[in-house]
Amino acid sequence: MKSICMVFVLLLLTACGSVKVYHDYDTQTDFSNYATYNFYPELQTGLSPLDEKRLLDAIDAELQLKGIRFSEDSDFYVNIKTRFFKAPQNTSVGVGLGGGGRNVGGGVSVGIPVGEPNQKREIRFDFVDTQKDLLIWNAVTESSFKENYTPEKRESVLQHIVTKALAKYQPKK
């Protein structure tokens, strides 16, 4: 019983703070040739200046862990775009008809949304070859967003997003 409760709590925690990540890359690219990066010159992330700094610091740290270093004369650019949206609420209308014996019954069910829709944030990470000006790799993350997070929580969330987004960078052939 205790293990069932632990599994339930663990599933509940992971469901609340989940980050969906979608990766894509050019299969013809040899990623071992990319050892340096820089941020796109006209970078406009769509984040506040403080959140942008937190995000760029998290990317710096994650890429350096992978052995990729920052350089003014880089092999690829990192471009970041952010989009905020409200997740649709699940509402439904159901009609049912049933019977048993000589009784026949019917019913109508209507789902009424309660509360506000969830605020979501999509962050897109594009890696662009500086010589060929071609997109070589990207990740799109989708996660919930709350404007009233503390600065520490914002930093933690952005670090988690970057870690999940870059987890599959440098695809192996």
- Where in the chain are the domains? 19-84+117-173
pLDDT on residue 129: 97
Closest CA to 162 of 47, 10, 26, 28: 47
pLDDT on residue 87: 75
Dist. CA 122–CA 136, nearest whole Å: 20
pLDDT on residue 105: 66
Percentage of the chain surpassing pLDDT 70?
Answer: 72
pLDDT on residue 50: 97
Dist. CA 26–CA 69, nearest whole Å: 21
**Is residue 3 classed exposed, middle or buried when 0-12, 13-18 and 19+ CB atoms within 10 A define those classes?**
exposed
pLDDT on residue 1: 54
pLDDT on residue 118: 81
How confident is the model over 45-70, as pLDDT tens digits?
Answer: 999 999 999 999 999 999 999 999 99
The per-residue pLDDT of the chain, averaged, comes to 84
Q: Which residues of the chain have pLDDT under 50?
A: 5-16
Residue 154's Cβ-side half-sphere holds a number of Cα atoms within 13 Å equal to 16
DSSP assigned state of 131: T
DSSP reduced 3-state for 33: helix
Dist. CA 8–CA 12, nearest whole Å: 6
CATH among 3.40.720.10, 3.40.50.300, 3.30.160.670, 3.30.70.260 for 19-84+117-173: 3.30.160.670
